[in-house]
Amino acid sequence: MVQTTHFELQEVFAADGQPGVFGKVATQLMLLHRQVSQRPHPTVLECGVHQGWSTGVLAHACEAQGGVLISLDIDDCADAIQSPVWTFIQTDDSARETVLARAPILRQGIDLMYIDSLHDARHVARLSESYYPLVKQGGWLAFDDVDPGPYLRGRRKDNAEREIAWRGIGQAIQDFFYANEDDLFLEFHFGSTGLALMQKLVPQDHPHQPARAIRLRHTSLRSLAKRLLRRTHPPAPGYREEAI
Ligand SMILES: C[S@@+](CC[C@H](N)C(=O)[O-])C[C@H]1O[C@@H](n2cnc3c(N)ncnc32)[C@H](O)[C@@H]1O
């Protein structure tokens, strides 16, 4: 039975699907719980423990499913929770070989990897690239902090640096996704600071392509002229856009 140090697990279960900021946090954590609860004997890898909110929720699902949870943090978070299925490793999570040496069970495949450590797009990209080959078919890579909304000017957590960093994380996830689009399913959840869930649809050892920066088109003189023309000459009633 999971024992949490800094909060009551029941608070999270009770707030699932509720409005407000804590409701969004809890709903996103419970999305992870539901994914783990659908896998028999899951192996879960968590990057970033701190006070152990996600740790407690993931350990709860692992206990119910006969699984294991390996959590990594650069700081000592060994007292965040207590659970017979939990292993804590104090390490930089990008040190993959150290992690695998300490938790060889990960080599047999990961059902869900949750990334919530260093909020830097390059770090998230590095983790996705290096651990993706260990993710099982049907398993998930889950990314916290993909919604820059709360950090926008005048919003709840107004912070330019974080707005840019969070947008970069979302971009890094899409760069990986579009480089391997046929092999993956990707969903983004906004609200609180956001959660992205990426499912691997192909066998674990299916080779993947490295992430490639996607090229977004920006407003050009031509597109601006078209938009202005639309405004002064709106489409006549019955106008149909060409099917694409
Ligand atoms: C946002 S907190 C994690 C919150 C936690 N998932 C929860 O739900 O309570 C981020 C954590 O990542 C850790 N961290 C930062 N950089 C790291 C790195 N390179 N490797 C491992 N952990 C790191 C920090 O020490 C911090 O505890």
What is the 52 CA–ligand 1 centroid distance (Å)? 9
Residue range 121-156, pLDDT digits in tens: 999 999 999 999 999 999 999 999 999 999 999 999
Mean pLDDT of 197-219: 94
Task: Count the domains in the chain.
Answer: 1
Q: Residue 89 pairs with which residues in a beta bridge? A: 72
Q: Exposed/middle/buried for 198, CB within 10 Å: 0-12, 13-18, 19+? A: buried
Pairwise CA distance, residues 5 & 17, whole Å: 24
Domain span at residue 195 reads 7-216
Pairwise CA distance, residues 10 & 138, whole Å: 29
Question: Given pLDDT bands bounded at 50, 70 and 90, which one contains residue 10?
Answer: very high
DSSP 234: P
Read off φ and ψ for residue 69, nearest 5 degrees.
Answer: -125, 125
Q: Is residue 90 domain-resident?
A: yes
Q: Is residue 66 domain-resident?
A: yes
Largest CA distance in the chain: 68
Measured from the Cβ of residue 40, the count of other Cβ atoms closer than 10 Å reads: 8
CATH code, 73: 3.40.50.150
3-state helix, strand, coil split of the chain in percent (to 5) is 40, 20, 40
Tokens of 136: 């099982």
Residue type, 196: A
What is the 216 CA–ligand 1 centroid distance (Å)? 31
Q: Exposed/middle/buried for 91, CB within 10 Å: 0-12, 13-18, 19+? A: middle
Bridging pattern class, strands 195-200 and 135-144: antiparallel
Q: Is residue 210 domain-resident?
A: yes
Pairwise CA distance, residues 194 & 147, whole Å: 5
Q: Is residue 60 domain-resident?
A: yes
Read off φ and ψ for residue 47, nearest 5 degrees.
Answer: -110, 110
Q: Is residue 71 domain-resident?
A: yes
Question: Given pLDDT bands bounded at 50, 70 and 90, which one contains residue 215?
Answer: confident
22, 53, 93, 117, best to mutate for ligand 1 pocket (most atoms within 8 Å of CB): 117
| CA proximity to 32, closest of 121, 142, 151 | 142
Question: Given pLDDT bands bounded at 50, 70 and 90, which one contains residue 234?
Answer: confident
Q: Does the beta carbon of 116 lie inside 6 Å of ligand 1?
A: yes
> Could you tell me which residues come within 8 angstroms of residue 218 by beta carbon, excluding any fewer than 6 positions away?
none
In order of 71, 222, 229, the CA distances from 120 in angstroms are 19, 35, 41
Residue range 80-110, pLDDT digits in tens: 999 999 999 999 999 999 999 999 999 999 9
Give the least confident one: 58-72, 81-95, 228-242. Answer: 228-242
Evaluate if residue 11 carries a pLDDT over 90. yes
Pairwise CA distance, residues 44 & 110, whole Å: 6
Q: Is residue 62 domain-resident?
A: yes
pTM score, whole prediction: 0.94
Pairwise CA distance, residues 193 & 185, whole Å: 21
What is the 73 CA–ligand 1 centroid distance (Å)? 6
Evaluate if residue 74 carries a pLDDT over 90. yes
What pLDDT score was predicted for residue 12? Answer: 98
What pLDDT score was predicted for residue 237? Answer: 85
What is the 227 CA–ligand 1 centroid distance (Å)? 45
What residue's CA is closest to ligand 1, atom 19? 92
